[in-house]
Chains A and B, each alone.
Chain A
Amino acid sequence: MSVKAMTAAQVARKVIDNEPLFILDVRNGDAFADWKIEGGNIQYLNIPYFDLLDGVEEVIDQLPKDRDILVVCAKEGSSIMVADMLADEGVETAYLSGGMKAWSEHLEPVKVGDLKDGGELYQFVRIGKGCLSYMAISGGEAAVIDATRMTDVFLNFAQEKGAAIKHVFDSHLHADHISGGRQIAQATGATYYLPPADAEEVVFDYTPLEGGFDAAFGNSKVEALYSPGHTIGSTSFIVDDQYLMTGDILFIDSIGRPDLAGLAEDWVGDLRESLYSRYQALANELVVLPAHFMIMDELNEDGSVAKKLGDLFKENHGLNIEDEQEFRDMVTKNLPPQPNAYQDIRKTNMGKITPEDEMQREMEIGPNRCAVR
C-alpha cells in the first residue's frame, strides 16, 4: 500500500472548509501539547514515533475508519516512517509533507474585500502560526502590511496580479515572527516604513511611519493612526476609510499584550488609551483586520479573520472592561508564556543579527503569543 504526501496547503484547505481529519501526531508529548494543527473537525492522537519503533499494532485499533488519517511530525522523516509502517499493516494514511515546519510557513491568501475603483484587499493567513499579512492592490500598484519572512509568496502574488509593490509597512517591531518587509522593499524598490519609536535600535534605513501620514497606491490610500500599547510605536492603518489594520493592538477575540519588549507596566496605559479612546473615535463600520489570530474560532467561514469594529465593541472582552485597575491587572498579570525566541526575533527585525534560514525557521517554531484574553 502506498503512502501519500499531503501538503500544508491541502491541510489548510481542510481546516478552513471544516472537513473531517484524523491527525496522528508522532512528535513527543511536550511538542504536541505546546503547538499542533488545529481545526474544528480534527481528531487527534499523539504517540511519539519512538514509542512505535517496535510496531504500530497498538495504534491501529485507535485509528478511525471513516475519515482521512494524516501522520504529522516536526520535519516529516518520522511521519513517513510511521505512515510506511501503517501501510505495511494495510492501513492507508498520508503524511504531512515538510512536517510542522511547512505548516508553520504556509500562507493562505484570502480575499477580504474590494477597494474603491476596482481595487482588492487580500489577507495572507499563516494558519499554522496565526500571523496575518495584507496586500492592498489598486490600479497596478500595491501596499503590503506586516509581511512575514516568506517573501516569495508576496512577490509572486503581486506579480500574478500585475501589481508593483510601492509601499511596505510594519505596524510595529514584531516579537513573534521575522518580518519580510525590508526584503520585499529591497526586492521591489518600494518604500519600507516602520514606526520610529520602535526603531531606536534598528541598524538599517527606513522611512519613519508617523500617525497622520498617508500613502497613495493606485486609486486608494493607506492612512497611519498612532496606536501605542503593544509596543510604544505600534501604529494602525486605515485603508480607503473601510478597513482598519490593528497590528497587535486589537484582535477579534482578544487584545494585545504590552510585555514583549519588557515594559508591560509602562505601556498598559497606552494600550488602554488606544483601545478605549483612539479606536472609540473611529467609525463602527470599519472592518477590523488584525496582525494575528490566536484561536481557530476567530476565522470566518471563508478562512478570513475580520470583523466590524462596532461588533468588537460589543463582543470583545478586552474592549469592555470598564474598571481601569481590572484592565491593568489583566494585561500585566498571568500573561501567557512569551513567544519562542522572541528576543532574538526582535534583534533580527532590528537587523542586529542575521541568522541563516534554518535558524530563522527554528526561531519561529511554535504558536504566536501576542494576545491576552
Chain B
Amino acid sequence: MNADKVLDAKGLACPMPIVKTRKEMKDMDSGQVLEIQATDKGASADLTAWAKSGGHELLEEQVDGDVLKFWIKKG
C-alpha cells in the first residue's frame, strides 16, 4: 500500500509509537497516508483506538515477521 510518509517506530516501547505517530500526523495534510512500522505488540490496539478517537482512518494493518505495519489516513 502506498504511503506519503513512513515512520520507523521499531524497537520503541509504549507510549513512544503513539507519541511519534501523533507528531508526524500533525505535519501532514488531511487525506495523506502515514505508514507506521512498530515492534511493540500493544501498538495494534493502541493505534486503532488512537486513530478512532482522533478522527483518522486505519486503512490496513499487516504483520511482517516481528514488525507490525499500519497505514493511517489523516482525517
Contact = CB atoms under 8 A, between A and B. Distances in A.
Interface string B1-32: 00000000000011110110010000000000
A50 B13 contact: no
A30 interface: yes
Contacts of A78: 14-15
Interface stretch (A69-77, A117-125, A220-228): A69-77
B41 A362 contact: yes
A232 B22 CA distance: 51
A276 to B, nearest CB: 42
A281 interface: no
A30 B45 contact: yes
Nearest to B16: A77
A48 B41 contact: no
B42 A50 contact: no
Interface residues of B, number: 14
Contact of B22 (A53, A77, A81, A362): A53
B13 A75 contact: yes
Interface residues of A, number: 16
Nearest to A48: B49
A81 to B, nearest CB: 5
A256 B19 CA distance: 43
Given A75-B42, A362-B41, A49 B15 contact: yes
A20 B53 CA distance: 31
Contact of A74 (B14, B18, B50): B14
B60 interface: no
A29 interface: yes
Contacts of B46: 28, 48, 50
Query: B interface, by DSSP: helix, strand, loop or mixed?
Result: helix
A51 interface: yes
Interface string A42-86: 000000111101000000000000000000011101100100000
Contacts of B14: 73-75, 77-78
Contacts of B53: 48, 50-51
B22 A50 contact: yes
A353 interface: no
B13 A28 contact: no
A31 interface: yes
A74 B42 contact: yes
A53 B49 contact: no
B15 A29 contact: no
B41 A81 contact: no
**Most chain B beta-carbon neighbours within 10 Å: one of A48, A50, A75, A81:** A50
Contacts of A48: 46, 49-50, 53
A74 B16 CA distance: 14
Contacts of A362: 41
11 contacts: A30-B49, A48-B46, A48-B49, A48-B50, A48-B53, A49-B18, A50-B50, A50-B53, A77-B13, A77-B15, A362-B41
Ranked nearest first, the 3 interchain pairs of A and B with the lowest CB-CB distance are: A28-B49, A78-B15, A50-B50
